[in-house]
Amino acid sequence: MLAVQVLINALVLGCLYACIAIGFSLVWGVLNVINLIHGSFIVLGAYLAWGAYQWAHVSPWYALLIAAPLFFAFGYLLQRLLLNRVISAPVLVTLTLTFGLDLILNNAMIYYFKADYRKLTLSPPTGSVSLFDVVVPVDRLIATAAALALTGLLYLLLRRSKVGRAIVAVRLDRDAAVLMGVDVKSIYAIAFGLGAALAGCAGVLMALIFPISPLTSSAYLGKAFVVCVLGGLGSVSGALAGGVLLALVEGIGSVYLGPAHATTLSFVLLIIFLVVRPQGLVGRKGFE
């Protein structure tokens, strides 16, 4: 029964990890930018949910409707006004820029919210579902359903809409997309905005489960990076597969070696994939 509990926990947490990573993967795959501010976007989304509930009594589910357009607009403008100026520069330049922006945003959050951990606690509590000896909190189930819905919406956007097909075209071959009349600068800004919106929404969902602190941004960034490598860059299904695999490894590691070794195991897995299968579980060779 313990194995079933670990598997269920991995499926639930893996969907949330996929939601954390999918925006990071989209920006990396389309813009070729390793967005180091992604972790702080997630924490900012968590604070938005916490603040909306504590101060205005707005349900975290409604906070998703606020976070999505707000973070999209912020990401869109950030790419247009700053990142677009260095988008053609070597990766080290964009890496340095996003690192600097992350420092500014993270220190601003520490200044306003302090480094203390806070927890969003719903009142009344949502309880848990129990089947035989397997127990799953209801708030985790709802957050998982929301994460799957967000991932599915992104998949449909990329496959069924004109702007989505343009994003995929730019990712596959930027020069060919330009020849076909695609406005690459706009697509870059939209992709970065979508990445920021998904990060903000992921933060709202994570606030329901984990304590909030600016200090956790690096942990979220690390998980997004690992999931991208495990699943494959720029792939929605890859993010899901990578998220579940990471959660499964962390869960098994916590049970048999202790929670302190879970992160170490995930990075060992990352190194193995970089050596053996750098394109990830469902990625194609040449796009890693």
Contact 45, 201 (CB under 8 A): yes
Report in angstroms the alpha-carbon separations of 121 from 53, 54, 204.
Answer: 9, 9, 13
**107 against 243, higher pLDDT:** 107
195-234 residue pLDDT tens: 999 999 999 999 988 899 999 999 899 888 888 888 877 6
C-alpha dihedral sign at 221, 253, 18, 228? positive
- Specify the amino acid at residue 42: I
For residue 42, what is the enclosing H or E element? Answer: helix 38-56
| Those residues with Cβ within 8 angstroms of residue 235's Cβ, 6 or more apart along the chain or in another chain | 25, 29, 280, 282, 283
pLDDT of 91-110, one tens digit each?
Answer: 889 889 999 999 999 999 99
- Span 256-288, pLDDT tens digits: 877 777 778 888 888 888 888 877 777 665 544
DSSP 8-state code for residue 284: P
pTM comes to: 0.90
Q: Measured in whole angstroms, how far is the alpha carbon of residue 143 from the centre of its chain? A: 14
Query: Sign of the CA dihedral 276, 279, 285, 288?
Result: negative
Nearby residues of 58 by Cβ (< 8 Å), 6 or more positions away: 52, 66
Burial class (CB in 10 A: 0-12, 13-18, 19+), 177: buried
pLDDT mean over 70-78: 95
